[in-house]
Structure 1
């Protein structure tokens, strides 16, 4: 349960929430594919967390200097062979959960599923170490899950959905930024050159703040679509987002940033809930 990192699972729920809400707003709702999308998203997120736990321990990044929450392999709670079996089982379960979506979205859904699985592994093993993790968040926690969820509900994707999916990806990227901000010193020593390591402390703090502002700014395009409530409600997200940013910039370093990570996950869920409620209304 701890290896699944429950606090991070808001990142899996929010894109599907927004996709379903946008479809509902446009007069579409299919409960079965909506449920399958939620399950697939949760399982893939858990799979990514298992993979991250496994490979970061192998590469020596989860040592005694680590500031983040304890990791299962590093603490010896789960052996490496057992974690490998867990990764295989979770990957297969994700695929079995997503396979019925072919009935609703055609064989394109197989391609989407394969991409999700492949990049689930590439994130930890390669792309996160090259500073490309934030790009993957925009694609796999924004564009793909929101767009695919809407497509499975309606059979098409309208331009405003891409705008909402980008807003979703920007908001969720705050979670990765604060995670990498906390671990920047350890990552640099371990050769994991994240975006935070590349741009430095101050720029990373500004990035965190402006990701939230940009996400809310994109929601303002809903005025043009005749959906004012969906534009107005997400503005409320900026209050807790700014409060969390101030706490983050005040702490700078230390295990206390784990609290900022938890607040960020809460804020992301609030953003998704406010936008979804706005779309439902």
Structure 2
């Protein structure tokens, strides 16, 4: 069991919860919340993240990216702990579980919704499953073309947050794009750190991530830009939404400050071993920021 837990990459799971928690917090603050919807959305997102991790493990090994040159964050298939066939089977079953969990979410969340709404959410769910697999699996994985950042921003930011909010409230507000984008930028920041850590091996194996395309130094500038954009989005939300900036809203600095620390600590001279712990740090601090932000919105709404 330990090998499968490791392959699921538990340290990535807090980040997967970010957009779902954010959407639920915003819905609760608006006065509408269903616990069952929140639980099913959380379960579906965790399954999709695990699916993505399994597929990434399989795809990177099959495409020669996870090879003998990889020395940091070794993968299950790469090290032989899990065979390719076992991982392929796990990808299929996790995709099936994600599909059924997602459909359960839609069944309870869209009971009285028009058919076109059902179709839209079903399409988004299938796209999420396809995106999780196609990131590194197949003849032309989009992650090898530097397109992973866009996918992560959409699914772990905009779609995760706005979709959850809609399932809870049956409404949408464009102002919510600000916190949703903030969550998306921080999710991309974790992916970019992953790519900065693996840049040397990715260059050799032909994986053209954003850091490979723009270079390690510019990759760190890009990383810091993502932090700045995320913090700006969360700070701008109460002003854009017309929410009084009272004492509660000012407490947002409690969630922002740990991100500022990351901004100051990261620098282009860091080795892969030094970069690796910052993936977990960024994921956990993103979750903490969302918790602080969400609680503030609930307190402000009362």
Q: TM-score range by the shorter chain?
A: over 0.9
Of 171-180 and 204-213, more deviation after overlay is shown by 204-213
- How far apart in 1 are the matches of 2:244 and 2:16? 25
Task: Please tell me whether the aligned partners of residues 212 and 238 of structure 1 are also in contact (alpha carbons under 8 angstroms).
Answer: no
- How far apart in 2 are the matches of 1:66 and 1:79? 18
Aligned match of 1:149: 164
Task: Please tell me whether the aligned partners of residues 16 and 149 of structure 1 are also in contact (alpha carbons under 8 angstroms).
Answer: yes
Q: 1:76 aligns with which of 77, 80, 101?
A: 80
The residue correspondences of 1:252-263 to structure 2 (distance < 5 A) are: 252-263=270-281
* Normalised TM-score (structure 2): 0.88
CA RMSD of aligned residues (A): 1.7
Is 1:87 aligned to 2:91, yes or no? Answer: yes
Deviations 1:189-214 (A, max 9, x none): 11000011111122211111121121
Q: 1:114 aligns with which of 97, 122, 126?
A: 126
Aligned match of 2:70: 66
Of 226-235 and 122-131, more deviation after overlay is shown by 226-235
Task: Please tell me whether the aligned partners of residues 182 and 254 of structure 1 are also in contact (alpha carbons under 8 angstroms).
Answer: yes
Aligned match of 1:273: 291
Moved segments of 4+, more than 6 Å: none
- How far apart in 1 are the matches of 2:254 and 2:145? 34
- How far apart in 1 are the matches of 2:251 and 2:269? 29
Aligned match of 2:239: 223
Task: Please tell me whether the aligned partners of residues 198 and 272 of structure 2 are also in contact (alpha carbons under 8 angstroms).
Answer: no
The residue correspondences of 1:22-171 to structure 2 (distance < 5 A) are: 22-103=26-107, 104-105=109-110, 106=113, 107=118, 108-125=120-137, 126-171=141-186
Please report how far the alpha carbon of residue 250 of structure 1 lies from its aligned counterpart in structure 2 after TM superposition.
6.2
Task: Please tell me whether the aligned partners of residues 20 and 149 of structure 1 are also in contact (alpha carbons under 8 angstroms).
Answer: yes
Structure 2: runs of 5 or more not aligned: none
Of 63-72 and 10-19, more deviation after overlay is shown by 63-72
Structure 1: runs of 5 or more not aligned: none
Aligned match of 2:23: 19
Aligned residues: 281
- How far apart in 2 are the matches of 1:197 and 1:70? 20
